[in-house]
Amino acid sequence: MKFDLHSHTNCSDGELTPEELVLRADNKAIDVLAITDHDTISAIEPALAAIEKHKLNLKLVEGVEISTSWHGFEIHIVGLNINSQDSQLCHRLEQQLATRALRAEKIAHKLEKLGFENCFDTVKNMAQGKSISRVHFAKYLLREGHVSHIQQAFDKYLARRAKAYVAPMWISIEEAVDWIHQAGGTAVLAHPTRYDMTNKWVRKLIQAFKQFGGDAIEASLPRQNKNELMQLVNYANQAELKVSQGSDFHRVSPYTELGRTLDLPQGCQPVWQDWH
Contact footprint for ligand AMP (CB under 6 A): 13, 38, 67, 74, 133-135, 150-151, 154, 159, 250
Nearer to Mn ion, 13 or 62 (CB): 13
Stretch that binds Mn ion, among 62-70, 156-164, 204-212, 214-222 (CB under 5 A): 62-70
Residue 37 sits in the site that holds Mn ion (CB under 5 A): no
SS (H, E, C) the chain: CCEECCECCCCCCCCCCHHHHHHHHHHCCCCEEEECCECCCCCHHHHHHHHHHCCCCCEEEEEEEEEEEECCEEEEEEEECCCCCCHHHHHHHHHHHHHHHHHHHHHHHHHHHCCCCCHHHHHHHHHCCCCCCHHHHHHHHHHCCCCCCHHHHHHHHHCCCCCCCCCCCCEEHHHHHHHHHHCCCEEEECCCCCCCCCHHHHHHHHHHHHHCCCCEEEEECCCCCHHHHHHHHHHHHHCCCEEEECCCECCCCCCCCCCCCCCCCCCCCECCCCCC
C-beta atoms surrounding 123 within 10 Å:
24
Phi-psi region of 15 (alpha: psi -120 to 50; beta: other; left: phi over 0): alpha
Nearer to ligand AMP, 68 or 84 (CB): 68
Nearer to ligand AMP, 13 or 62 (CB): 13
To the nearest whole angstrom, how small is the minimum distance from the Cβ of residue 271 to ligand AMP?
20
To the nearest whole angstrom, how small is the minimum distance from the Cβ of residue 200 to ligand AMP?
22
Nearer to ligand AMP, 180 or 233 (CB): 180
- Residue 48 partner contact from Mn ion, ligand AMP, none using kind-dependent CB cut-offs of 5 to 8 Å: none
Q: From residue 109 to residue 148, what is the string marking binding to Mn ion with x (rule CB under 5 A)? A: ----------------------------------------
To the nearest whole angstrom, how small is the minimum distance from the Cβ of residue 112 to Mn ion?
24
- Residue 120 partner contact from ligand AMP, Mn ion, none using kind-dependent CB cut-offs of 5 to 8 Å: none
Total residues at the site for Mn ion (CB under 5 A)? 5
The answer to whether the CB of 164 falls within 8 A of the CB of 131 is: no
Question: Which of 88, 105, 106, 93 minimizes the C-alpha distance to 12?
Answer: 93
Nearer to Mn ion, 20 or 112 (CB): 20
Q: Give the largest CA-CA distance in the chain.
A: 54
Bridge partner list, 246: none
Q: From residue 185 to residue 224, what is the string marking binding to Mn ion with x (rule CB under 5 A)? A: -----x----------------------------------
To the nearest whole angstrom, how small is the minimum distance from the Cβ of residue 159 to ligand AMP?
5
Residue 4 sits in the site that holds Mn ion (CB under 5 A): no
Nearer to Mn ion, 13 or 86 (CB): 13
Nearer to ligand AMP, 6 or 210 (CB): 6
Residue 76 sits in the site that holds Mn ion (CB under 5 A): yes
Binding residues vs Mn ion (CB under 5 A): 13, 65, 76, 190, 248
